[in-house]
Amino acid sequence: MTRTGATRPHPAAPPGVSSLASIRPFRRLWIALSVSGLGHWLSVPALTAMAATLTRDDDAAARAQAVGGVLVALLVPAVLLAPFAGTLASRLDRRLTLLVADALRFVIVLSVPLLDALPWTFAAAFLVACVSVVWSAVAATAPAGLVPDELRPAARHSAARAMCWPAPVAAVVFAFVALIAKGTFGEGDRADLALYVTAGVFLVATAGVAALGEVPGTEPIGTPSPLRILFQGPRQQDVRGLGLAVAGVSLAAGAVVAVARVHTGHLGGGDAGYGAVLTGLTVGLGFGLFLGPRVLGPFSRRRLLGLAVIAAALALVVVSLVQNLVVVAFVTAFLGVAAGAAWSTAAVVLAGDEPSEDRPDAFPRSVALVTALVVVAAVPPLAGVIGSRHYDLGDGDYDFQGTGAALLIAALLALLAGLVAFRRLDDRHGVPLVADLRAALHGRVYTPPEQAVVEDRRVARRERGVFIAFEGGEGAGKTTQARLAAIWLRDHGYDVITTQEPGATKIGMRLRAMLLDRETTGLSSRAETLLYAADRADHVANVIRPAMERGAIVVSDRYVDSSLAYQGYGREQPVEEIARVNAWATGGLVPDLTVLLEVPPQTGLGRLSAPADRIESEPNEFHERVRAGFHALAEAEPERYLVLDASRPQGELSREIQYRIREILPDPIPAGTEDVTSTFPIITD
């Protein structure tokens, strides 16, 4: 083997982030996108804070509306212009688009504190958002152009992360910048610093993209319209209530963002308080996104989704009523966790069990975006209409702000959405929620008592006896070993039934004659499979099951695996279909142990003394396939199999089989019993 010094990924290793990180152009683009992403997320609090500062002398209603106006301007392009952005971005050079997008955003953001006017702040927010839509379309796809084909899905995933992870960082940076500004700037200029920092970040991003080499990519960029996706509904149409759940959780999170700047002002915190609440929300969201698919493994994901929405709504109730900034920031973080968990759970529910390459979250994304737009447009005016109330409660005062009231209304609507969504999504009707949750906390799926009784009975019935099957090709010696095992078990006092396939019952004898008679010609493979399955159904119903229910040990010479190996692998028919037919024929009865004796077909066939029957007369390739089939079956379920080389001495094989059988006996025979008592009879077959 030659070594080049470079570490190569293991060929079997799944393509992943570690392989991506070793591709230099990808890594550099990823960093540049992360910096742009930081600017993108910073622009949200920076521009809204600017609107609040510019309306600082107006009443709370006007301030709330100004902040809401900026948020609307930031969201409208994402909802309405996405398809155009995709078409435009497809026609342009990827690197140049990223470069121009960052440079434009630098200039626009920088102009806001310089012009210092509310209408321009709105216009700037709209323009920044328009540029960001084109930027996002390119940023989501460009990294995939820098990696080999097999790494493209991972590159797309990683690009999405580069755009999202800076959100909590931006909130923290904003909070710090606001603190610094508070100590150094006059009241009217406090929001300027955050805008300068945002512009600076975009400038760094521009330099980062300028330093990149070519970013190839000629394939069209598809950015479907969120409104169209919304009206088409989820891909999995049966997921009733999912849209409502996502809308509920977006309503809760969106309402906080919509009024946070003004509400935190009422609670005595300026921009820094606003930054703290946004930090709580975004850090919580990130944590919740991570937690969603991992938490409470055995618990129904659909139930979890409904519960997460209800939890987010309840958190918002607390946020709306409590008048302490620290508590509000912490409870908002909890709201973020619930919202993030709801989001990732919705994606899991939509994706089902099938890992899919195309984004399962397109539908929830559209619902969230459109809901957020409606919320930021409606909640601030609602707060203004309600206005503030002052209550004199004797011992103390309670100031009920319009923002708090609007949050409470949003919380109640989100709660309603959560409750309805829970009902609709629930896939465990009638299973008590608390017991279900408690069991999931212990890593179990809750089984209602009545169902448990039925299952216990089934298990008890199944577990009364023991079922051992011997399998192998022709002349492997399984008949001999099955008999030896039965004698050994009887010697230890067990009630043992020895039986075989085909032909253990009266009907079975007739079927056996048909199946093995060389005079039977032209029997189709399917008919042969069904005849063996019919023999087996009769065998299980009339011999095996009654014996097991009595508590006996059943030792069978051949069982289902023979059909899988001979009719499946040997006759080259679909093995899964044969397994399904046999599962039905046997009522799902599976041996506790299957002893597989392996022998090369030539050796095995050479051992036979009687004239070859219909199956034995098959060509050597058929028997080779059968042997390989048995082997594959054993490999797929190693815990149920004991695989032995049948060319070994008979005594050795018997001993190994006995050791293995001991492990599954209801009342195990202590190892070494025979050595101590010397009562083991000498068996000759």
User: Residues interacting with ligand TYD, by CB under 6 A?
Assistant: 474, 479, 500-502, 516, 532, 557-558, 562-563, 566-567, 615-616
Q: Which is nearer to ligand TYD, 53 or 499 (CB)?
A: 499
Q: Which is nearer to ligand TYD, 235 or 614 (CB)?
A: 614
| In the complex, residue closest to ligand TYD by CB | 566
Cβ-contact 481, 654 below 8 angstroms: yes
b vs e for 297-336, b when ≥16 Cβ sit within 10 Å of the residue's Cβ? eebbbbbbbbbbbbbbbbbbbbbbeeeebeebbbbbbbbb
Q: How far is the CB of 499 from ligand TYD (least distance, A)?
A: 11
Q: Which is nearer to ligand TYD, 250 or 586 (CB)?
A: 586
Q: How far is the CB of 648 from ligand TYD (least distance, A)?
A: 18
**CA 113, 114, 119, 124: dihedral to nearest 10 degrees?**
-70
Q: How far is the CB of 579 from ligand TYD (least distance, A)?
A: 12
Q: Which is nearer to ligand TYD, 111 or 479 (CB)?
A: 479
Q: Which is nearer to ligand TYD, 284 or 570 (CB)?
A: 570
Cβ-contact 102, 131 below 8 angstroms: no
Q: Which is nearer to ligand TYD, 558 or 625 (CB)?
A: 558
Q: Which is nearer to ligand TYD, 300 or 499 (CB)?
A: 499
Return the amino acid letter for 450.
E
Q: List helix spans (H) across 523-594.
A: 525-539, 545-550, 560-563, 575-586
Q: Which is nearer to ligand TYD, 436 or 474 (CB)?
A: 474
Q: How far is the CB of 26 from ligand TYD (least distance, A)?
A: 54
Other CB atoms within 10 Å distance of the CB of residue 519 = 7
Which run of H or E residues covers position 555? strand 553-557
Structural tokens at position 636:
């797929």
- Looking at the chain, how many residues does it have? 685
Which run of H or E residues covers position 438? helix 433-441
Residue 527 to residues 517, 580, 603: CA-CA distances in angstroms? 15, 15, 29
Q: How far is the CB of 570 from ligand TYD (least distance, A)?
A: 7
Q: How far is the CB of 232 from ligand TYD (least distance, A)?
A: 50
Q: How far is the CB of 487 from ligand TYD (least distance, A)?
A: 18
> Among residues 107, 172, 169, 166, which one has the least CA distance to residue 136?
166
Q: How far is the CB of 605 from ligand TYD (least distance, A)?
A: 10
Cβ-contact 365, 226 below 8 angstroms: yes
Cβ-contact 639, 664 below 8 angstroms: no
Q: How far is the CB of 573 from ligand TYD (least distance, A)?
A: 12
Q: How far is the CB of 590 from ligand TYD (least distance, A)?
A: 15
Give me Rg for the CA atoms of the chain.
35
Whether cis (ω within 30° of 0) applies to the bond prior to 502 is yes
Q: Is the dihedral of CA 536, 538, 541, 544 positive or negative?
A: negative
Cβ-contact 143, 156 below 8 angstroms: yes
DSSP 395: S
Q: How far is the CB of 650 from ligand TYD (least distance, A)?
A: 16
Q: Which is nearer to ligand TYD, 65 or 586 (CB)?
A: 586
Q: Which is nearer to ligand TYD, 43 or 567 (CB)?
A: 567
Q: Which is nearer to ligand TYD, 557 or 598 (CB)?
A: 557
Residue 222 to residues 82, 89, 136, 298: CA-CA distances in angstroms? 9, 9, 12, 36
Phi-psi region of 262 (alpha: psi -120 to 50; beta: other; left: phi over 0): alpha
